[in-house]
Structure 1
Amino acid sequence: MSLRPTLETRRATPTLEGAGVKLHRAFGFQDPSELDPFLLFDDFRNDHPDDFVKGFPWHPHRGIETITYVLEGAVEHGDSLGNTGTLGAGDVQWMTAGSGIMHQEMPTGNTGGQMHGFQLWGNLPAAQKMCAPRYQDVTAADIPVITDDDGTRVKVITGEFWGKRGPVDGIAADPQYLDVFVPAGVKKTFRIDTYRRAFAYVFDGAGAFADASAPSGVLLEKEVAGQELNIRDLSGDRTLIRFGTGDEVTVQAGPHGIRFLLISGAPIEEPVAWHGPIVMNTRAELMQAFQDLKNGTFIKPVH
């Protein structure tokens, strides 16, 4: 087994999206090869309804998949195909935009006014850019949760892990999407297919991720007696960790435990032409998409 090196650790940055939703962006609209097949990751978390209730009104997508995972509050959605619904706490929606869709996403807070969720964009390969749009709405009750003897808890949203398979299927990048909690002081190793690009996103607590550059036999340079770590050395809330190649990721939880998303997928390795919510392979295809929007032929007939 080989430990994946930590290529980069960075904080998500505040930004505005939609009609003025305040969120934090971990990556997106930069180098699309960095985490291929993933293009963008947003953490939309707020305690003040004024910062999110205007939501994400009608907008187009083509050539990508959007993955929305709600932790607190709800997201009401509707689209140009007539689909409507509400994602509640713990629910997931995996939307394959394919040839094109218009949709809106309107968040609402819980009883205390809090809203928290994530949205990940996955690229589609050229052969599937113009496939028919589809949705997979998954309720929290349908997502397997595995609890290990040491208290580690993993929700398997998609892919296979520890003998359980997530309910979302048929995704182009064959991703693994895990919601992981590791209790205070526990060190845990997670297997990841060597050929996948991988990242972790910490959103609660803190911990230290092992680096392959540590001396032989040492998993965590900052480890000390009693499995306690200097809090300054930990990756904490709203931190992205980008991994290199290998087949294992090791983390040691800090004094309050750590919760993070562990996401990996097979790289597509194709040219990317990207503007806003539309991602194609060539500039000509991108210009055609916007011409389709202008002349009313963006939404293709579903056969």
Structure 2
Amino acid sequence: MDTPVQSPRRVERVLTGVATSDGAGVKLTRLLTQDLQQRLDPFLMLDNFASDDPDDYGAGFPNHPHRGFETVTYMISGRMRHRDSAGHEGLLQNGGVQWMTAGRGLIHSEMPEQEEGVMEGFQLWLNLPGRDKMREPWYRDIQSAEIPEVQTPEGVTARVIAGESHGVKGSVQRETTQPLYLDLHFGATGQRFEQPLPAQHNAFVCVYRGSVEVVGGDGAATAVARGRMAILANDGDGVVLRSAGNEPARALLIAGNPLREPIAQYGPFVMNTRQQLLEAVEDFNNGRLA
């Protein structure tokens, strides 16, 4: 059992995502934008896609390269096929996770396998330490039934995608960035969830159903509505969340150990220096990615 939180973190600020498109025109909301990369190190980006209009997602994400980081795609609803130049292939579907380490580089596609219905999910970009940016690519499909879950005494269900919560270890562990990735399901209004966090770890909460409150050390609560992201201050030993409103709530709690390394990004390449970016572009242009 985790140690109870004695000094809950407060909310530093609440953000609204930026509407944009990616791939072949897939409409999405960018919650973690490039200007937040240093503040939320080791995380580089968080996108949310959610639509029941095939025109918003049908064209998918055709072949494109990556180098220097990891992608974590969590499918809430829908079906998407992954293929990459390292020979990996998998079907991402309801409740499942695709964890891909681009490492030294690969080319992949993510294409919908549905022509109607809701397509909803998140993609998180997790940075790699400089020493690992040129490692071999790695890939894992984690189906919904494989994701460990824990239910707290108050009735909150936590799906532990990465890290550990209430004594339950997640599907993926990373020694350096130590990511925590929880999908929290709240029922009745007022249900509480506590999660210890190391003081140096950067953390944020993203609400995608209902409304959640972040309860600070003084008992004051900050409401985070659906579609908003709250950055948590690094001023406590954990986070306390409480469901609010008149409907069940769902939220992602994401935290990690900052790398505190230079971040050099050019589109789908994330390295430490400009020279490394130039090398990545040259390797891609000359067909040297995996």
The two structures have a TM-score, normalised by structure 1, of 0.89
- Local SS of the residue matching 2:248: strand
Structure 1 CA distance, aligned partners of 2:99 and 2:278?
A: 26
Aligned counterpart for 1:241 among listed residues 211, 224, 230: 230
Give the residue type in structure 2 aligned to 1:151. Answer: G
CA distance in 2, matches of 1:65, 1:171: 14
Counterpart among 279, 282, 286 of residue 273 in structure 2: 282
CA RMSD of aligned residues (A): 1.6
CA-to-partner distance for each residue in 1:234-256, whole Å, 9 max, x for gaps? 31111101011122212221122
CA distance in 2, matches of 1:45, 1:250: 27
**Secondary structure, in 3 states, of the residue corresponding to 1:219?**
coil
Identity of aligned residues (%): 40
On the 8 A contact 1:72/1:109 being kept in 2, the answer is no
Q: How many residues align?
A: 282
Query: How many angstroms apart in 2 are the aligned matches of 1:258 and 1:291?
Result: 46
Pick the structure with greater CA Rg.
1
Consecutive unaligned residues in structure 1, runs of 5 or more: 213-217, 222-232
Are the structure 2 counterparts of residues 31 and 201 from structure 1 closer, same or farther at C-alpha, using a change threshold of 3 Å? Answer: closer
Which stretch shifts more, 43-52 or 28-37?
28-37
Residue deviations 1:177-202 (CA, integer Å, cap 9, x gap)? 10012222223322222221111100
Residue equivalent to 2:144? 140
Residue number in structure 2 paired with 1:227: none
Aligned partner of 2:3 in structure 1 is none
Any idea what SS the aligned residue of 1:234 has? Answer: strand
Aligned to 2:287: 296
Partner of 1:113 in structure 2?
A: 117
| TM-score, reference length from structure 2 | 0.93
Residue in structure 1 matched with residue 127 of structure 2 by the alignment: 123
Residues 165 and 195 in structure 2, CA contact (< 8 A), matched pair in contact too: no
Match of 1:16 among 14, 21, 31: 21
Structure-to-structure mapping, 1:1-303, within 5 angstroms? 1-109=6-114, 113-170=117-174, 172-183=176-187, 184-212=189-217, 218-220=218-220, 234-245=223-234, 246-254=236-244, 255-299=246-290
Distance 1:283 1:73, change over 3 A: same
Deviations 1:185-231 (A, max 9, x none): 2233222222211111000000221234xxxxx4125xxxxxxxxxx
Query: Gaps (5+ residues) in structure 2?
Result: 1-5
Partner-residue secondary structure (3-state), 2:153: coil
Using the TM superposition, name which of 181-190 and 76-85 deviates more. 181-190
What CA distance in whole angstroms lies between the structure 2 residues aligned with 1:252 and 1:29? 29
